[in-house]
Amino acid sequence: MKQFYVEPGKKVDLNEWKTDSTPDFEGKKADAAPEIEKLNAKLESLQELLYAEGKHKLLIILQGMDAAGKDGVIRHVFDGVNPQGVKVASFKVPTPEELSHDYLWRIHKYTPAKGEIVIFNRSQYEDVLAVRVLKLVPDNVWKKRFDHINAFERMLADEGTTILKFFLHVNKDEQRERLLERVDDPAKRWKFNPGDLDTRAQWDEYQKAYEAVLEKTSRQWAPWYVIPSDKKWYRNLAISRIMVATLEKLKMKYPQPAEDIEKYRTELVG
């Protein structure tokens, strides 16, 4: 999965990253099903181990244009994991209380505790994306935030949080098809937001903003991955591979059992 990794400090041109590629996989959606099922099972066991050990923390950040598949990743990649140890935080328009604090205040309180996986569906990056494109604050304000965010994530990493950041990269034509599906399918109409069309009209501005985010905030301790997301099944496969590989590197172990645990067998079986 190294081909998706954004090298820290390297200039990013999203036009050079294909949205429909399936590297390291020769086959179609049906051919990927066995591996995806195997990865889901592996992630389930690793998440249980993470929770039981109670030592590590994992923060997953999902960003992308509307209909890129953030909800789909949460639904499919985490299928089967124990909800007791996984939390999802979605960040929408700030509330009056949130606006009365610094912009990272509402983010920090949702970061993972030991043994938890927390998924950010959008994140602190909206404050250098939407805020920039919509000109909600002056340039000299949002430009400072790259350093703020890097420092914030470095602090989380130093305190034991493993951070993975995924940019779900879709083609503009693919986005149109997904938005049309939301309009045409009665079961999906609730997901359609007319405001998505305003964002779509600013596609180029958002792509430029995302390029800046990837360039300035991909760090060894908090890397960005650009995931080709036109094919939903491959998007899920790629993210699952990266997550499983990352969790395996933590070398987690189950806690030691109670002393002389075998003696309790006699009491239990009578």
Where are the chain's structural domains?
2-21+28-253
Give pLDDT, residue 152. Answer: 98
Pairing of strands 57-64, 224-228: unpaired
DSSP code at position 119: E
Residue for token pair 């986005």: 175
Using only the alpha carbons of the chain, give its radius of gyration. Answer: 20
Give the Cα separation of 112 and 250 in Å (integer). Answer: 16
Single-letter residue type at 64: G
Q: What share of the chain is helix, strand, coil (3-state, %, to 5)?
A: 50, 15, 35
Alpha carbon separation from 138 to 70, 131, 202, 211 (Å, rounded): 29, 9, 18, 19
Global pTM reads 0.95
Q: Which residues of the chain have pLDDT under 70?
A: 270
Give pLDDT, residue 48. Answer: 96
- Which residues lie closer than 8 Å to 88 by C-beta, 6 or more apart? 74, 118, 119, 121
Please name the fold of domain 2-21+28-253: Rossmann fold (3.40.50)
